[in-house]
C-alpha cells in the first residue's frame, strides 16, 4: 500500500475539512466535539494571554535546472557561516521513479525571522520561551476538553517518528491503555 492509501484508510469514515482554520470557525468546531485535539499554536489558542511564543521561520528558493542530476542526493546540509542557506533539497531523489527526468528541481532553505503570519517552523526552546510555554500548560490543565499535541501544541521540535510515538502515547493515556 502506498502512503496515500495508508492515509485514506486511516481517515475512512472521518469527515475531513481542508483549508478550514480553527480560529475562523472556533465556535462551530468547539460545539461539534466533546474533545478537541489541537495541533496549532497553544499561545494563539489562549489569545496570547501571557504573550507570544517565539519561533524560527524559513524562506525557500526553488529552481528548475536543465540537468538530470544536481547533487546526487535528496538533502545536502551546509553548515559554513559564509553560506547563506542551510540546506539544498533535490526533490527527485526522494522518489526513485522520477530519476529519469532530464530536468531537476532544487530548493534552497534560508533561515528567516518569524513574525505573525509566517509559518512557525521551529520552536525556540530557550529559558524565556519555555517558561512562557509553562504558563500556557498550566492554563491547559484546566481545559479538560482539549488535548494539545504536536510541535505547536507542545511547543517542542519533534522528528516525524517522535511525533507519531507521542500521538500513540497520547491515545494510550486517553483510552487508559497500558501498552
Task: Summarize as ranges the residues that interact with ligand FAD (CB under 6 A).
Answer: 21-23, 39-40, 58, 121, 150-151, 158-161, 163
d(Cα 80, Cα 67) in Å, to the nearest integer?
26
Q: What is the 8-class DSSP label of residue 124?
A: -
Residue 98 or 164 with smaller CB distance to ligand FAD: 164
Nearest distance in Å: CB 19, ligand FAD: 9
| 76 close to 87: Cβ distance less than 8 angstroms | yes
Residue 103 or 165 with smaller CB distance to ligand FAD: 165
Residue 118 CA to its chain's centroid (Å): 13
Residue 78 or 121 with smaller CB distance to ligand FAD: 121
d(Cα 38, Cα 119) in Å, to the nearest integer?
17
Nearest distance in Å: CB 53, ligand FAD: 13
Residue 50 or 121 with smaller CB distance to ligand FAD: 121
Report the SS3 class of residue 73.
coil
Cell of 58: 524559513
Of all residues in the shown chain, the one whose CB is closest to ligand FAD is 150
Nearest distance in Å: CB 47, ligand FAD: 13
Residue 89 or 104 with smaller CB distance to ligand FAD: 89
Nearest distance in Å: CB 102, ligand FAD: 27
Give the Cβ contact number of residue 56 at 10 Å: 15
Nearest distance in Å: CB 48, ligand FAD: 14
Q: Cite the DSSP H helix spans in the chain.
A: 3-10, 26-32, 42-45, 127-142, 150-153, 160-174
Amino acid at each position: 500500500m502506498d502512503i496515500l492509501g495508508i492515509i485514506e484508510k486511516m481517515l475512512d469514515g472521518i469527515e475531513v475539512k481542508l483549508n478550514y482554520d480553527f480560529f475562523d470557525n472556533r465556535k462551530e468546531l468547539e460545539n461539534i466535539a466533546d474533545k478537541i485535539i489541537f495541533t496549532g499554536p497553544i499561545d494563539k489558542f489562549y489569545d496570547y494571554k501571557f504573550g507570544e511564543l517565539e519561533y524560527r521561520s524559513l524562506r525557500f528558493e526553488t529552481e528548475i535546472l536543465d540537468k538530470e542530476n544536481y547533487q546526487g542526493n535528496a538533502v545536502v546540509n551546509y553548515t559554513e557561516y559564509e553560506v547563506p542557506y542551510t540546506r539544498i533539497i533535490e526533490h527527485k531523489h526522494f522518489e526513485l521513479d522520477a530519476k529519469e527526468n532530464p530536468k531537476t528541481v532544487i530548493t534552497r532553505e534560508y533561515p528567516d525571522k518569524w513574525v505573525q503570519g509566517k509559518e512557525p517552523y521551529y520552536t525556540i526552546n530557550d529559558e524565556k520561551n519555555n517558561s512562557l510555554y509553562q504558563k500556557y500548560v498550566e492554563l491547559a490543565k484546566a481545559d479538560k476538553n482539549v488535548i494539545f499535541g504536536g510541535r505547536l501544541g507542545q511547543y517542542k521540535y519533534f522528528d516525524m517518528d517522535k511525533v507519531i510515538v507521542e500521538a500513540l502515547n497520547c491515545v494510550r493515556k486517553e483510552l487508559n491503555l497500558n501498552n
